């Protein structure tokens, strides 16, 4: 398209795990970029990153950085979004925020394009990207929700370390080497956050992602519960989540028990999931085909398999849902939203 409108884009957290993937996707998708600002903290200012064959120096993110910016993609932690998103909006930018800062704000749409893209119209400057574990779950639930209604979901997650940022990836690799060499693994990063105790992730499974809440659930578990209700616009749906960090670099896996409101035929469910946008059905037990984290890495889709009717509740379905947390769980969902905004403004 020759007269395509091009946009001034800022990526906040460009040196991070999610930000790096956003920059890659903007390039791969040939997003109509006019100018690009790559922003980080003062620590990485001056780092060179490449985009479309050109080198860009990373700058420290400040309110003035957003002068003239049309679309700002934030993935530098909730505090940075809280400190800078308003400054970006004041200067006329639309912010697509990957952090937890605004997700439950009633004025901020929480968007998974395949599920509720119509909500972006309601934005007042900020559009929130849901939590990575929520995105892949709601993408898989949506076709079932629309066809049968859902009364209850019980989810257990098996989450990759990249969900906790690039330092957690380094930590897994370092600890794995140390454990194999028989030296001390010295846990330092996981669970992430200002928590007094850190645990070994190499050869382990940690049933804590983020801080414990007063009700005994962790913040990650409560994010999955609250965000799903908001995205499906259904306060009555019952959800229970147990979130576990496992020693995988990328790709979150989830075991879901889903109670539907109506009877279902397995063949119809299979067909609906196979046809749904953004979902890939991988479900052939005979040839041992089911979604795997290794197979999802670098791909935009949410993979669904291990479909089976529950043994005791005939209206319930068990399934296994896998997606690359840095792609659909973060960067790809954000870039999809940016593409909708760009298309609307052409």
Ligand X SMILES: NC(=O)c1ccc[n+]([C@@H]2O[C@H](COP(=O)([O-])OP(=O)(O)OC[C@H]3O[C@@H](n4cnc5c(N)ncnc54)[C@H](OP(=O)(O)O)[C@@H]3O)[C@@H](O)[C@H]2O)c1
Q: Which of 36, 49, 69, 76 binds ligand X (CB under 6 A)?
A: 76
The count of chain residues that interact with ligand X, using the rule CB under 6 A, is 29
State yes or no: 18 annotated in a binding site.
Answer: yes
Our answer to whether residue 199 is catalytic in this structure is no
The nearer residue to ligand X, 201 or 272, going by C-beta atoms, is: 201
The residue range among 117-125, 158-166, 256-264, 309-317 that interacts with ligand X, by the rule CB under 6 A, is: 158-166
State yes or no: 336 annotated in a binding site.
Answer: no
CB atoms within 10 A of CB 121: 9
- Of all residues in this chain, which one has the CB nearest to ligand X in the complex? 16
Candidates 95, 123, 243, 252; catalytic one? 252
Q: Which of 8, 10, 15, 85 binds ligand X (CB under 6 A)?
A: 15
HEC string of 206-262?
ECCCCCECCCCCEHHHHHHHHHHHHHHCCCCCEEEEEEEECCCCCCEEEEEEEEECC
Report the nearest approach of ligand X to the CB of residue 12 (Å): 6
Contact status: 209 vs ligand X (CB under 6 A): no
State yes or no: 270 annotated in a binding site.
Answer: no
**Residues paired with 157 in a beta bridge:** 243, 254
Our answer to whether residue 252 is catalytic in this structure is yes
Q: Which of 116, 151, 156, 166 binds ligand X (CB under 6 A)?
A: 166
Candidates 95, 132, 199, 243; catalytic one? 132
Contact status: 191 vs ligand X (CB under 6 A): no
Report the nearest approach of ligand X to the CB of residue 148 (Å): 29
State yes or no: 15 annotated in a binding site.
Answer: yes
State yes or no: 29 annotated in a binding site.
Answer: no
Q: Which of 9, 18, 69, 209 binds ligand X (CB under 6 A)?
A: 18
Contact status: 132 vs ligand X (CB under 6 A): yes
Q: Which of 162, 200, 208, 336 binds ligand X (CB under 6 A)?
A: 162
Report the nearest approach of ligand X to the CB of residue 175 (Å): 17
> x/- binding map, residues 281-310, to ligand X, per CB under 6 A?
------------------------------
Q: Which of 8, 9, 10, 17 binds ligand X (CB under 6 A)?
A: 17
Report the nearest approach of ligand X to the CB of residue 129 (Å): 7
Euclidean distance between CA atoms 230 and 108, whole angstroms: 11
Rule CB under 6 A: which residues touch ligand X? 13-19, 40-41, 43-44, 61, 75-78, 80, 98-99, 132, 162-163, 165-167, 325-326, 329-330
| Catalytic site positions | 132, 252
Report the binding-site residues for phosphate. Answer: 103
């Amino acid at each position: 398209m020759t007269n395509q409108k091009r946009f001034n884009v800022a990526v906040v957290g460009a040196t991070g795990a999610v930000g790096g993937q956003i920059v890659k996707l903007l390039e791969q998708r040939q997003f109509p970029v006019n100018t690009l600002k790559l922003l980080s903290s003062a620590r990485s200012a001056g780092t060179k990153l490449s985009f479309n064959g050109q080198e860009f120096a990373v700058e420290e993110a400040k309110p003035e950085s957003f002068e003239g910016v049309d679309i700002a993609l934030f993935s530098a932690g909730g505090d940075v979004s809280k400190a800078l998103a308003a400054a970006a909006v004041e200067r006329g930018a639309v912010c697509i925020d990957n952090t937890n800062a605004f997700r439950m704000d009633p004025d901020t749409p929480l968007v998974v394009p395949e599920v509720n893209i119509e909500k972006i119209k309601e934005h007042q400057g900020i559009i929130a990207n849901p939590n990575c574990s929520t995105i892949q779950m709601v993408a898989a639930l949506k076709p079932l929700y629309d066809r049968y209604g859902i009364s209850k979901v019980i989810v257990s997650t098996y989450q990759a370390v990249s969900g906790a940022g690039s330092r957690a990836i380094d930590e897994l690799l370092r600890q794995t080497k140390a454990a194999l060499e028989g030296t001390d693994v010295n846990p330092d990063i996981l669970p992430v956050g200002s928590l007094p105790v850190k645990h070994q992730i190499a050869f382990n499974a940690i049933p804590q992602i983020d801080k414990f809440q007063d009700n005994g659930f962790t913040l990650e578990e409560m994010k999955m519960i609250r965000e799903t209700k908001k995205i499906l616009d259904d306060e009555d749906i019952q959800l229970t989540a147990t979130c576990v960090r496992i020693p995988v670099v990328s790709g979150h896996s989830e075991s879901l028990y889903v109670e539907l409101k109506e009877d279902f035929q397995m063949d119809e469910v299979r067909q609906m999931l196979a046809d749904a946008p953004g979902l890939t059905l991988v479900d052939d037990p005979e040839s041992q085909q089911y979604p795997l984290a290794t197979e999802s890495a670098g791909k935009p889709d949410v993979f669904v398999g291990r479909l089976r009717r529950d043994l005791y509740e005939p209206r319930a379905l068990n399934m296994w849902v896998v997606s690359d947390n840095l792609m659909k769980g973060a960067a790809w969902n954000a870039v999809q939203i940016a593409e909708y905004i760009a298309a609307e403004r052409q």
